[in-house]
Structure 1
Amino acid sequence: MNKTILCVSLFLACLAAQAQYYMQDVSGKPLLTSKYVDMVGTPYIFENWTKGEVILADGKAHKDLDLKYDQVEGIVFFKGKNGADMGFTSLVKSFMLYPNNVAMSFITVPEIKETEKDPYFEVLSDGKKVKFLKKTKKVIRESKGYNSASITRTFGENTNYYLLKSDGTYTKVKRDKKAIIAALSDKSAEVEQYIKDNKTNFKEDASVAAVVNYYNTL
């Protein structure tokens, strides 16, 4: 009888310890996200929660989280156990989002000083020589209709592209043929031929990323 009680006690203690571990697995702090009211559009990259994972500045990794990325404030946060919006207590160094099972990678780039307060870049091409990065910043815009006293507030997007070299230097580029060839000038002939052969569509991120992927093989 005593053995049975002891076994049950140990089992319950293990469950309690395990529950405590999972509760403490991701440290968070409540966020006030209700500031975006009476606005057209969304401040987030995706309106709904998206599955993802993060790596914090201390090296800890957390997977299978419900995440949102606020492109106005430049922060990523997670859904707490009670459904509340929770901010990470440690800096998020990088994170992944998986909308419709498609992987999207975001990193911090200390070398690009102009975005220190809004540090996350989407990695479109991750090569040993050059990374092709996308920076999307959302801004709040106000407008008035003709003869109207009411103000409409909407979210607008500003998007910039960067080529980051392995030595830490970078170039801000336009997503067009001339700019990409100029930025990859040491292999300009090969890059231009690749663009011609593959009929690169410079209106599509993936198509331009393929050019950079090719450059990284040269």
Structure 2
Amino acid sequence: MKTVALRLGFAMLAFCLFSANAVAQFTHTNDMEARPVHEYNTITMIGSPYVHKEWAKGSLTLKNGTVYQGIELMYDQVREAIIFKGKNGDVKELLEPVQEFKITYIENNKPVERTFRSGYSGDGVPANAFMEVLADGQVVLLKRTSKKIFDRKHYSSATIDREVQASEDYYIAKGDKAVKVKKSKSSILAAIPDRKDYLETYIKSNALNLREDRDMVKLVAYYNSL
């Protein structure tokens, strides 16, 4: 009887600890360190500084392990800043160090979820840069999109055209080390050479065009399945 009571007591203690930990992990956005957001005049802007130009539902995982879910996010790819709506609807720029965030939105009547992760190094990757995870596993396919805003004034005119231009870089990562790759068979296979024969056969039999993101994803996913 005492044994049963002890087991029940330990089970209750474990449940309480688990519940306390879960509560600690999911906290209010009001607790996050933030500052007033930098605003753009997007009315006269060609292109968007954001990964998605409208608010999207998302989640954040801070580097200390704290998780925030179900919040409204935007990601500014010019300033590499995460923008969020607080509990009261106020718009702020997040200052907390973030390990990963996800955003979900509707595009062409289909749900899209995109994951961005920091903590990679190598081949000129800026410290704490967010990379989009295209394929995950033992080997990770990453895409980094950086944007710049250019203002152009026409000759003999007071009109200024403001345009957002984007550049994209791709990486293959093992652990936290990332190697930049070109969108070509030779470059990608050089980054993951240990399954070269299998990958070349897969590329040929599936007629992959490695200048396309979706086919790069297929190749890395296949590598991770071997």
Normalising by structure 2, we get a TM-score of 0.77
Structure-2 residue corresponding to 1:49: 55
- Work out the CA distance in 2 between the residues paired with 1:151 and 1:136: 25
Contact persistence 1:132–1:164 (CA under 8 A): yes
- Work out the CA distance in 2 between the residues paired with 1:154 and 1:171: 30
Structure-2 residue corresponding to 1:177: 185
Shift of 1:196: 0.9
Contact persistence 2:99–2:118 (CA under 8 A): yes
Residue 171 of structure 2 is aligned to residue 162 of structure 1: yes
Residue 66 of structure 2 is aligned to residue 60 of structure 1: yes
Q: Deviations over 1:47-84 (max 9, x none)?
A: 10000000012211010010000000111121123432
Structure-2 residue corresponding to 1:132: 141
Structure-2 residue corresponding to 1:17: none
Normalising by structure 1, we get a TM-score of 0.79
Q: Name the SS for the 2:225 alignment partner.
A: coil
- Work out the CA distance in 1 between the residues paired with 2:159 and 2:191: 46
My pick for the range that moved more, 112-121 or 130-139, is 112-121
CA RMSD of aligned residues (A): 2.4
Contact persistence 1:28–1:86 (CA under 8 A): no
- Work out the CA distance in 1 between the residues paired with 2:97 and 2:177: 24
Aligned residues: 196
Structure-2 residue corresponding to 1:104: 114
Identity of aligned residues (%): 33
- Return 5+ residue gaps in structure 2 as ranges: 1-25
Contact persistence 1:134–1:162 (CA under 8 A): yes
Residue 37 of structure 2 is aligned to residue 29 of structure 1: no
Q: Name the SS for the 1:140 alignment partner.
A: strand
My pick for the range that moved more, 99-108 or 155-164, is 99-108
Q: Name the SS for the 2:45 alignment partner.
A: coil
Contact persistence 1:52–1:65 (CA under 8 A): yes
- Work out the CA distance in 2 between the residues paired with 1:173 and 1:110: 15
Structure-2 residue corresponding to 1:186: 194
Q: Name the SS for the 2:220 alignment partner.
A: helix
